[in-house]
Each structure stands twice: as C-alpha cells, then as structure tokens.
Amino acid sequence: MSLYCVKIKYSLDAISGMMSDGIDRAEAMRELTEKLGGKLICFYGMIGQKYHAIGITEVPEYANLSAGIVTALTTGTIIDYKVIPLYESSDVIKVSKLFKEASPTYKKPGS
C-alpha cells in the first residue's frame, strides 16, 4: 500500500453546498477512498491556504488514488488538487540498501 497526502481545493458550488447543508466532507472522502480499495487515515480543513482541505490516504497504487481525484473533479466538487507521495521514516533503510546496490555500477553522462 502507498501513502499519499492529497490537498484539495473545493469549487464555489461545493463550498456553498457544505455551508447550506452543514456537511462534513471527511465521510464522503472516506467512503470514496474505501470504495477504491484504500483507507482514509486523516482529513483536516485548512484556513488561509490555497487548498481548503488535506487528507492522508493509503491506497494499493496510484491508479486508485487517481480514480478518486477524477471522480471529485468530474462531479464539480473540487477544482484543484496536489498529490504528495509519502514515505515512512523506516523506508530510508530500504532506500539506503538499494542505493548501495545500484550506485557502484551507475555512471554519469560523459564518464
């Protein structure tokens, strides 16, 4: 499973609907993420930022995450987003091992 931080910017219509109906969008994001085989780890609103909310999700692969983003875009719920792949600090150990295996044979251009 892969971890992603997803920043989302709501459309004006979505914001209007949330204010009129008093809707908490965390549940909608949780349901969509689970339908696509993932898990919503956390969801927070943000004030004074380009984006209105941030979610941390765990999904089998990027295609699952992309399907959720496309769903939110095509329904007019969001108008912009940013995806940041995340890693756990213990992954540095794996990276170090792979680096040590790959670096001795890798050559820069012109060398």
Each residue's pLDDT expressed in tens, for the chain with a length of 111 residues: 999 999 999 999 999 999 998 888 999 999 999 999 999 999 999 999 999 999 999 999 999 999 999 999 999 999 999 999 999 999 999 999 999 999 988 888 887
Q: What is the CA angle 89-46-52, rounded to 5?
A: 105
Q: For residue 1, give the nearest of 91, 102, 93, 98 by alpha carbon.
A: 91
| Residue 49, Ramachandran bin (φ over 0: left; ψ between -120 and 50: alpha; else beta) | beta
Q: Write down the pTM of the prediction.
A: 0.83
d(CA 43, CA 108): 42
- 27 exposed, middle or buried (CB, 10 Å; 0-12, 13-18, 19+)? exposed
